[in-house]
């Protein structure tokens, strides 16, 4: 039981928080009770400042989030964070934490792998393209070489043929060859009715071979061209070749003449084109064989 002390009020002897704070702050022990509320107010103010400071530090530590629209902050949901303080953002807001240092190591490694893969693919594509270009160049070169070789072979063959013709030009072989390929006889040697006038008993002095106009006509044997031009008597464009042993061959109704008078030709050499000039009823060759000035049946010489 506390015994009152002379000159002091009984309440001053209690050990209360305010009295302790007053004593620790160096307040005189003999102050009146009216001063106690001012001390309590000072302590509360300090506690409030400390709490506000702690709250500001906690807010600063929270990552900054970007909400879609300020008007959407009416309805909010808590966002969890490692700190003791939570931030509320609008529901459905697009929150972005765009900080490069926040990328994870796995994402960085994935980016590196993707870049390396892209570089490898680029190098592989370049190598494939180079190989394809090289192959195309090689094929082109091979084709050019083949074409040049073929052309050289054709030139050599033509020179060889020309040499053979030059060697045999003007010389008869003693046997006649067909003046056109695939001869189709339409009228033989002998007496017949004239196909134009209709006169009977007229001697047909050669053999007619029907072919398309423009068909090449060749010399039946080597010799010398003794006639080349248009025959007024009905033969049209006509060529006559003199062979050895008093033998001649004639080529009538030609579309064109490919040799000149006095020219020497070899057996099988092209001398003109089949036609229908002169007294003719269609494209054909009238071929004659003349022995010692007399026309004979060509069938016995071919």
Give the catalytic positions in this structure: 284
Burial class (CB in 10 A: 0-12, 13-18, 19+), 70: exposed
The beta strand positions in 131-268, using DSSP E, are 185-187, 190-192, 202-204, 207-210, 216-218, 223-231, 236-242, 247-257, 264-265
Q: Which helix (H) or strand (E) holds 90?
A: strand 87-90
Query: Is 202 within 8 Å of 191 (Cβ atoms)?
Result: yes
The whole-angstrom separation of Cα 260 and Cα 247 is: 19
Task: Report the DSSP pairing between strands 247-257 and 76-79.
Answer: unpaired
Torsion of CA 50, 56, 60, 64, to 10 degrees: 160
Query: And the tokens for 299?
Result: 């069938």
The whole-angstrom separation of Cα 240 and Cα 157 is: 29
105 by DSSP, 3-state: which?
helix
**How far from chain centre, in Å, is Cα 164?**
49
Which residue in this structure is represented by tokens 């091979």? 142
Q: Can you say whether residue 174 is alpha, beta or left, with left for phi > 0 and alpha for psi between -120 and 50 degrees?
A: left
Task: Residue count of the chain, please give it.
Answer: 302
Query: Is 267 within 8 Å of 168 (Cβ atoms)?
Result: yes
């Amino acid at each position: 039981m506390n015994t009152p002390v002379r000159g002091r009020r009984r309440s001053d002897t209690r050990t209360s928080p305010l009295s302790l704070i007053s004593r620790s702050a160096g307040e005189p022990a003999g102050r009146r009770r009216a001063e106690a509320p001012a001390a309590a107010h000072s302590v509360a103010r300090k506690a409030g400042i400390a709490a506000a400071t702690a709250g500001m530090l906690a807010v600063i530590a929270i990552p900054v989030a970007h909400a879609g629209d300020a008007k959407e902050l009416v309805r909010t949901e808590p966002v969890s964070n490692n700190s003791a303080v939570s931030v509320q953002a609008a529901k459905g807001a697009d929150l972005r934490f765009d900080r490069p240092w926040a990328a994870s190591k796995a994402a960085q490694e994935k980016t590196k792998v993707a870049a390396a893969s892209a570089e490898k693919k680029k190098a592989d594509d370049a190598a494939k393209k180079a190989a394809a270009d090289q192959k195309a160049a090689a094929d082109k070169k091979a084709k050019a070489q083949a074409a040049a070789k073929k052309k050289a072979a054709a030139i050599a063959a033509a020179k060889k043929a020309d040499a053979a013709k030059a060697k045999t030009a003007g010389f008869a072989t003693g046997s006649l060859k067909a003046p056109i390929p695939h001869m189709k006889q339409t009228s033989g040697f002998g007496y017949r009715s004239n196909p134009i006038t209709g006169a009977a008993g007229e001697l047909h002095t050669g053999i007619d071979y029907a072919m398309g106009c423009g068909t090449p006509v060749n010399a039946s044997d080597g010799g010398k061209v003794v006639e080349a031009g248009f025959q007024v008597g009905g033969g049209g464009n006509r060529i006559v070749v003199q062979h050895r042993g008093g033998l001649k061959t004639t080529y009538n109704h030609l579309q064109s003449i490919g040799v000149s008078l006095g020219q020497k030709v070899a057996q099988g050499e092209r001398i003109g084109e089949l036609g229908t000039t002169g007294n003719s009823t269609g494209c054909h060759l009238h071929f004659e064989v003349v022995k010692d000035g007399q026309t004979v049946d060509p069938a016995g010489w071919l």
